[in-house]
Structure 1
């Protein structure tokens, strides 16, 4: 019996030592130096003393970062365990924002912040999920009738286009090919998911939908979207038809969205006149329409210039990519400032990189009512009330 008891004590002691070793190695030796060498405790702390460099590193000021933390901080908090202390919300926020802002790999961020790769991945996922959960309703809310009227007024004042609810377009977000997905996510060049967005006169996202397969045509993306269905059913609080400024003789016409040739012509969605050898009146309409459509292109430019992860092939599962893109759009609205928009546009142009457009769906048969609405806009842009001095020169 005695040798047996001794053997049991030896095994128990060995097991205890093994458990202690596992506890010691629960955090990698390099990561145990997090407070002494990690970027969060040194570089990030120093950046708060340098406004310009903080802005370049995180794509936002320290003040806005603190404000963002007040929104998402509770969602980033985790309970410490006996094995290791939880990463504090401030550090999770810093890691997640740096991933969005730089497009660095998670391995690179793990090394610089002295964190495990799985921890960095969790930081990114937790931040994006928290932003969507906590901030979506406040920063991309469902517009009321009064809000739509304000949006239309801004388009008239800023872009000389009346009764406009927003500029509509879609963009591809490149992703790593998901396993066993076949060609669902494959467009003509790369694997991707589609962001469909409606943007107001000040580059603010009013509607977004993310996640359609890259192989889906623009017509399929729009017709299957919540926006397309709600507009067709009249469920979006759109104001009733009204006259164009200074032209009651043209009658009341609907409020409309504007899109390029990839979208169908509807009474509530204007697209250019098709063809090359068009009369000047129609070319002027197409110019006036394209001028407004640049709003959504500019919004995408600002979005990708600020969050450079969108210029890279995102190596996450498609569902995670969807959440990341939604979070980036919410942050876009949260940070949007007229004084900074031009700066981001110039940076995007200087980078020489652009988010890819969704493919055109080709021609479509439009209703007589939709064609009539477009013709009324055309007449208005040629009238004294609706023309602008430079339009003839531009065509």
Structure 2
């Protein structure tokens, strides 16, 4: 017995010796910083272009980052408490450069490898930077810029929709987009093709008031609106919307509603256009007014893609990271759109007057300037019908009352 134990002990000691020898023979890192990146502090894009650009060319700074130097600094102050200050091997990448890397990737739509090469950083380093910074951007901006309206904020939105888009009792437009996610040959991540489902609502000024983002397998049926977080709250009437109020010049009280396209269900608080081809004049009038106001959410998505071009192609990350990227783009969009609202009409740079589509009194579409920077193959695609919920009698009556209102003197479009 003792001999057997001695033999077993000898084998264990020999195994430990072999493991120790193998670990010593492992290839050591040839360098802490790859030679092409060694001169990053002198020849990297952050030093050569970004720093001089801040003071020399404000317009170029806006085109490069999608925001002014002043807004960049404001964002930097907001994210600073949320970001860990790690070192990259022997040299640090300071917070300002990390934010620059992230914003440049989001605004340009360039790959991680391309941005890494221009900033003279490793691809894995850029990947970690983007992951952390996108999460920090959402955390820093969500409460102030992307939180769901409450109380009198709903009423303010409804007043804006009536004043700007001539649709009463409207607390927002809703639409959804399917965002493709795929693996990339130059990405440090390798994932199967999937998609992100994005439900969103907006106010009358092209600002998102709600985003509901989830990642699903392409064949997963959970895209159904009624089981999404926002959809379930809307259908179950737990959004705390204002009480029904009378339409202008009328005593009939109608609920506050969101406007959706034909893919959405007709509900007490959610209007969709009349379907079919044999519509009467009143139904056609309603559909025109509905479609006219619904352009706000369509343009909101269009502006988002035009400004943050990473959304104009399949996102080459794991779905979980892709969700953080989309959320960061939405938070940045809202921050800049809110700041724009404080400027004069001609002083607005993020959403200038001619950027969005508009309709003339004759009904003719006036295309917005957003169409020039956005390709025809945008990655934000309409996934089709999202619910088969049957309409209630109350919902049908609400839409019919709106239809009749648009035929009254108070409901006509101003000439």
Q: In structure 2, do the counterparts of structure 1 residues 313 and 80 end up closer, same or farther at CA, with 3 Å as the change threshold?
A: closer
Match of 1:170 in 2: 176
Separation (CA, whole Å) in 1 of partners of 2:76 and 2:110: 22
Match of 1:60 in 2: 67
The two structures, once aligned, show a CA RMSD in angstroms of 2.5
Match of 2:14 in 1: none
The answer as to whether partners of 1:195 and 1:208 remain within 8 angstroms in 2 is: yes
Match of 2:273 in 1: 272
After superposition, the C-alpha distances for 1:205-244 in whole angstroms (9 at most, x for unaligned) are: 0000112437479994421222112123332221111111
After superposition, the C-alpha distances for 1:250-286 in whole angstroms (9 at most, x for unaligned) are: x211100000000000010000011012000000000
User: Aligned pair 1:224/2:227, yes or no?
Assistant: yes
- Partner SS, residue 241 of structure 2: coil
Separation (CA, whole Å) in 2 of partners of 1:359 and 1:244: 32
The answer as to whether partners of 2:182 and 2:191 remain within 8 angstroms in 1 is: no
User: Aligned pair 1:207/2:210, yes or no?
Assistant: yes
Separation (CA, whole Å) in 2 of partners of 1:367 and 1:291: 25
Give 1:123 shift: 1.4
After superposition, the C-alpha distances for 1:118-155 in whole angstroms (9 at most, x for unaligned) are: 11111111111001222211111121120000000000
Q: Give TM-score scaled by structure 2 length.
A: 0.82
- Partner SS, residue 42 of structure 1: helix
Mapping of residues 268-307 of structure 1, within 5 Å:
268-307=269-308
Separation (CA, whole Å) in 2 of partners of 1:51 and 1:275: 51
- Deviant stretches of 4+, over 6 Å: 216-219
2:154 to 148, 172, 177: 148
Q: Give TM-score scaled by structure 1 length.
A: 0.85
Q: In structure 2, do the counterparts of structure 1 residues 51 and 343 end up closer, same or farther at CA, with 3 Å as the change threshold?
A: farther
After superposition, the C-alpha distances for 1:316-365 in whole angstroms (9 at most, x for unaligned) are: 00011111101111100000125332454444311343432121248653
Give 1:301 shift: 0.7
Q: In structure 2, do the counterparts of structure 1 residues 98 and 277 end up closer, same or farther at CA, with 3 Å as the change threshold?
A: same
Mapping of residues 34-73 of structure 1, within 5 Å:
34-48=40-54, 49-73=56-80
Higher mean C-alpha deviation, range 235-244 or range 59-68 = 235-244
The answer as to whether partners of 1:218 and 1:262 remain within 8 angstroms in 2 is: no
The answer as to whether partners of 2:259 and 2:271 remain within 8 angstroms in 1 is: yes
Match of 1:333 in 2: 334
Separation (CA, whole Å) in 1 of partners of 2:217 and 2:399: 30
1:33 to 29, 39, 55: 39
Match of 1:96 in 2: 102
Match of 1:383 in 2: 408
Match of 1:5 in 2: none
Structure 1 unaligned residues grouped into runs of 5+: 1-14, 186-190, 391-395
Give 1:45 shift: 1.1
Structure 2 unaligned residues grouped into runs of 5+: 1-22, 184-188, 342-347, 357-367
User: Aligned pair 1:368/2:375, yes or no?
Assistant: no
After superposition, the C-alpha distances for 1:47-66 in whole angstroms (9 at most, x for unaligned) are: 11201111111111111000
Q: In structure 2, do the counterparts of structure 1 residues 362 and 74 end up closer, same or farther at CA, with 3 Å as the change threshold?
A: closer
- Partner SS, residue 91 of structure 2: coil
Separation (CA, whole Å) in 1 of partners of 2:217 and 2:306: 22
Higher mean C-alpha deviation, range 231-240 or range 365-374 = 231-240
1:74 to 81, 95, 100: 81
Give 1:180 shift: 7.7
Higher mean C-alpha deviation, range 346-355 or range 330-339 = 346-355
Match of 2:135 in 1: 129
Match of 2:263 in 1: 262
Q: In structure 2, do the counterparts of structure 1 residues 171 and 295 end up closer, same or farther at CA, with 3 Å as the change threshold?
A: same
After superposition, the C-alpha distances for 1:32-87 in whole angstroms (9 at most, x for unaligned) are: 11111101111101211201111111111111000000101233341448x51321
The answer as to whether partners of 2:83 and 2:136 remain within 8 angstroms in 1 is: yes
Give 1:98 shift: 0.4
More helix by share: 1
